């Protein structure tokens, strides 16, 4: 989803050490207004530490960052008024009712009409009928919805979500993902920390992959095309000897053969596939079906991690 390019998060050489251990090292990042931005790395790579720095909860060891034009370390209180944070363990007040959990935080943030705002979000997240129930009696998925509502109660410009579907069953995780999709607006930026790569592939406009250092940033589809290109897979009833060498079309970058299957690298499959199929038919090939070889974000992630480990 394309948004107007306007940075709301910028970091320069952002670093946080805990003793001799670097939790985040030399992070340069720019996140645009209105996008869902995925921050992807293995457990222990510094995702939560980065969120805590960017939300003004802990200070960086070195480097700097601005959130909606405010500088962390100098404008922390103003930053916290403009961001919402869902931590991996949200820590609701289990002995308070659903409505009282939200009202407490609405008043804490000095929301102008806390009762109206609380009702609005409970209805939006389909929790209004459970408003008088104790938060501790909700299912995991419903508690996560309540925690996200709590992070949004003051209408923040930036929403940090740290592993929002961790520990949820598939049905609850799907419910939370759909909820995140409904939160997309031109005015709200969502910073999603996760190691669920399928989730990031579906939800994020851009992603940053890192492990100790930043490895790649960009649109997931564009990153995959940049690393792997685009490839067409052609399954044949029978592969004639030398067929891959006989195709000889100028736009073909590479041909790989595996038994009765050809994997062909192209620049523009939409335009070039019909020409390719016609050429194969001319050569007597019996084509069973044609498809695009799709690479997952997980494949990209694992390959980058392997390259990073090899160069360390």
List CB contacts of 250: < 8 A, sequence separation 6 or more. none
Residue 4 has pLDDT above 70, yes or no: no
Structure tokens at 72: 């962390």
- 31-88 pLDDT, tens digit per residue, is 999 999 999 988 777 888 999 999 999 999 999 999 999 999 999 999 999 999 998 8
Give the containing element (helix H, strand E) for 216: strand 214-218
Helices 114-124 + 140-152 axis angle, to 10? 140
Ordered by where they begin, the domains of the chain are 7-218 (3.40.50.300), 227-295 (3.30.70.100)
Quote the CA–CA distance of 197 and 209 in Å, as a whole number: 10
Q: Give 266-276 pLDDT, tens digit per residue.
A: 888 899 999 99
Question: SS3 of 84, please?
Answer: strand
Q: How far is CA 238 from CA 259, 263, 285, 305, in A?
A: 9, 15, 7, 38
Sorted by sequence, the CB contacts under 8 Å of residue 89 that are 6+ apart come out as: none
- Reported pTM: 0.83
Model confidence pLDDT, tens digit, residues 195-242: 888 889 889 999 998 876 788 899 988 888 887 778 899 999 987 788
Per-residue pLDDT, 33: 92
């Amino acid at each position: 989803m394309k948004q107007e390019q306007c940075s709301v998060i910028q970091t320069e050489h952002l670093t946080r050490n805990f003793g001799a251990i670097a939790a985040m090292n030399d992070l340069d990042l720019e996140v645009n207004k209105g996008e869902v931005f995925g921050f992807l790395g293995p457990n222990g790579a510094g995702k939560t530490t980065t969120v805590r720095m960017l939300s003004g909860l802990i200070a960086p060891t070195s480097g700097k960052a601005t959130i909606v034009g405010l500088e962390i370390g100098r404008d922390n209180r103003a930053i916290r008024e403009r961001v919402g944070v869902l931590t991996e363990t949200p820590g609701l007040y289990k002995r308070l009712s659903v409505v009282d959990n939200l009202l407490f935080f609405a008043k804490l943030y000095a929301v102008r009409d806390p009762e109206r705002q609380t009702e609005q979000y409970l209805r939006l997240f389909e929790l209004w009928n459970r408003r008088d129930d104790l938060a501790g009696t909700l299912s995991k998925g419903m508690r996560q919805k309540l925690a996200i509502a709590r992070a949004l109660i003051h209408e923040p410009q930036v929403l940090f979500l740290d592993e929002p579907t961790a520990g949820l069953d598939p049905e609850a995780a799907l419910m939370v993902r759909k909820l995140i999709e409904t939160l997309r607006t031109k005015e709200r930026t969502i910073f999603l920390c996760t190691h669920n790569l399928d989730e990031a592939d579906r939800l994020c406009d851009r992603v940053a992959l890192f492990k100790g250092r930043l490895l790649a940033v960009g649109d997931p589809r564009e990153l995959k095309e940049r690393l792997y290109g685009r490839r067409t897979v052609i399954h044949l009833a029978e592969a004639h000897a030398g067929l891959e060498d006989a195709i000889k079309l100028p736009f073909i970058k590479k041909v790989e053969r595996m038994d009765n299957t050809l994997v062909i690298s192209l620049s523009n499959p939409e335009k070039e596939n019909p020409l390719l199929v016609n050429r194969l038919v001319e050569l007597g090939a019996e084509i069973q079906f044609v498809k695009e070889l799709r690479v997952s974000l997980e494949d990209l992630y694992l390959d980058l991690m392997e390259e990073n480990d090899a160069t360390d």
